[in-house]
Amino acid sequence: MNDIFHKLLIFRTPGIGPVKYAELVNKFGSPAAAADSLNCTVEYIDSVKREMDAAAKLGIRYICEDSEYYPDKLKSFKNRPPVVSVRGDLETLKKPSVSIVGTRHATGAGMKFVSDLAREFASNGYAVVSGMAMGTDTAAHTGALSAGADSCTIAVLAGGADYIWPLENEKLYHRISERGLIVSRMPVGYVPDRANFVQRNRGIAGLGDKLILGEADEKSGSMSTAGFAMEFERPVFAIPGHPSDSRSAGPNRLIKENKARMCTGPSDFFEIKELKSEKSESNTELLDRIGIIPIQESVLAELVKKSTAETRRELVMLELCGRVRKTDGGYVKA
């Protein structure tokens, strides 16, 4: 029997977590000896063999603590999983990484902001880590994948590495497995429960060199992920939002309490180089007044001290250049 089999035999045993696993291996001197000490039933042994067979058929691999691909950033954690299952490109784990999380019920503006941010990180060689949930997670993954052929993203799942949830993200799951990596500590085919999402959140926080919190209610999984990042001594950044929106309560509090640095965009992390044409230079002042919250052209005219007609002409030019777009509430940056 190979070493991975013995490690799985121990780690999949009910009641044995990472800490107990390490104690058993240290006590008996090897995974094989520790596994033998458990006196596992034939049925249980067969279940682990079936898992490994299923993983092999799906192209899911296992990486252990002693693997060259096991993330260095996890090795210092006492409760790190001794074995994780992965699907995709293992080289993704060697890239610098940023974790981006937030609510499933994100606003359109919030998702656009996160998507743009993730794209910029991916363009700069980062792997973007998130949990493949709807809303913010989806925006982070899709934003990263939009950066180009070499861009990648990591999805940490609460269920098995083959368990696609939510079903709406089936296409996204396959894109990630082709261009990045799916990661899980659970058995193949495992359907997650509430506790598994807590472990997933720890994994998301642990795999990132830094964490960015988008829209998030005070009592949410995203806030717990930010808490884990602080516990792991990762730099935490938070995207501020309107005080009256409960989805901004989490990031706003972390900023207020100096537990997170304010994130205002890619320029907080990278030097953004813009190619300016004569047209864009003439419209710089107007463009600077437009953000992710819709603003009406009459208000813009007052802010830049120009006539409404002149402002409208400049807005049309900016829209044609793809710099802004018109919504029901006014103009926003494209």
- C-alpha span between 323 and 308 (Å, rounded): 19
Query: Tens of pLDDT along 64-119?
Result: 999 999 999 998 888 899 999 999 999 999 999 999 999 999 999 899 999 999 99
Alpha-carbon torsion angle 223, 226, 232, 234, nearest 10: -170
Least confident of 179-188, 215-224, 282-291: 282-291
The overall average pLDDT reported for the chain is 93
Q: Tokens representing 115?
A: 């998507």
Beta carbons of 3 and 33 less than 8 angstroms apart: no
Write down the pLDDT at residue 276.
Answer: 44
Structure tokens at 150: 């070499």
Asked whether the predicted pLDDT for residue 32 surpasses 50, the reply is yes
| DSSP code string of 58-126 | HT-EEEETTSTTS-HHHHT-TT--SEEEEEE-GGGGGS-EEEEE--TT--HHHHHHHHHHHHHHHHTTP
Whether pLDDT at 279 is above 50:
no
- Predicted confidence at residue 76, as pLDDT, reads 84
* Tens-digit pLDDT profile for residues 234-246: 999 999 999 999 9
Assess whether pLDDT exceeds 90 at residue 282.
no
Does 275 score more than 50 pLDDT? Answer: no
Q: Is 267 a residue whose pLDDT tops 50?
A: yes
Q: Report the percent of the chain where pLDDT is more than 70.
A: 96
User: What is the sign of the dihedral through the CA atoms of 287, 290, 294 and 296?
Assistant: negative
The pLDDT of residue 224 is above 90: yes
